[in-house]
Chain A
């Protein structure tokens, strides 16, 4: 199975900050990388697919990049509603595994 590792586990930031999350795959996954946002008590929500494509309805302050094994999710100018947990997921080879998540908390 492909292992996905996210860092950091927790990130503290303030409204208006620019933040970057990192996700690393245990082997190349080309650009088969998706990012999800999950708020407490809610289902995950797709943000980015194919490493850098913004899902419909997602604000443009979210962006993704990377290929191969290393990927990033960036949020420009954090908004109060962005504080949540973020998961990466590889869809290169089944089982389509997830990272362990990065919790974004208010500083």
Chain B
């Protein structure tokens, strides 16, 4: 059974870089069937699409974050990562990693439990 687990610092200072990892078990991150990515949710608010990566390295990002965001994969650890530069308080959110179906409806069929990242000095 697929499991996704986010990890990383829960507190990041303004202007610094947010870095999160998502460990994948029960599937290979190099599978040609899926995309892997991130969605965030500010406290008490709705869901925001961040972006995805398709192995070995095709990425797609939300235009609102382009220039600050990058997603990468590490097949040796079967995990993928998120980096978000120059963070502000507006980046405080619950960050979810997810798996997206690569074809047909392109739906998100699996989610991590989420990790809260607070941007504060």
Interfacial residues of chain A within 63-107, with CB under 8 A of chain B in the complex: 87, 89, 91, 94-101
Q: Say whether A34 contacts B46, CB under 8 Å.
A: no
The answer to whether residues A91 and B105 also contact, given A43-B96, A43-B114, A44-B111 and a CB cut-off of 8 A, is: yes
Please name all residues of chain B whose beta carbon is closer than 8 Å to the beta carbon of A87 when the two chains form the complex.
46-47
Please name all residues of chain B whose beta carbon is closer than 8 Å to the beta carbon of A49 when the two chains form the complex.
101, 104-105, 107, 109
Interface presence of B31 (CB below 8 A): no
Bound-state Cα–Cα, A34 to B101, Å: 12
- Interface range on chain B: under 10, 10 to 19, 20 to 34, or 35 or more? 20 to 34
Please name all residues of chain B whose beta carbon is closer than 8 Å to the beta carbon of A99 when the two chains form the complex.
46
Q: Say whether B46 contacts A100, CB under 8 Å.
A: yes
Bound-state Cα–Cα, A45 to B114, Å: 13
Interface presence of B33 (CB below 8 A): no
Task: Give per-residue flags for A12-49: 1 if the beta carbon is below 8 A from chain B beta carbons, else 0.
Answer: 00000000000000000001101010000011111001
Bound-state Cα–Cα, A21 to B100, Å: 24
Instruction: List the 7 shortest-distance A-B pairs measured between CB atoms, nearest first.
Output: A50-B105, A43-B111, A91-B106, A49-B107, A49-B105, A95-B62, A98-B47
Q: Can you show 12 pairs from A to B with CB atoms below 8 A apart?
A: A1-B63, A31-B105, A34-B108, A49-B107, A53-B105, A55-B109, A87-B47, A94-B60, A95-B49, A95-B62, A96-B106, A101-B46
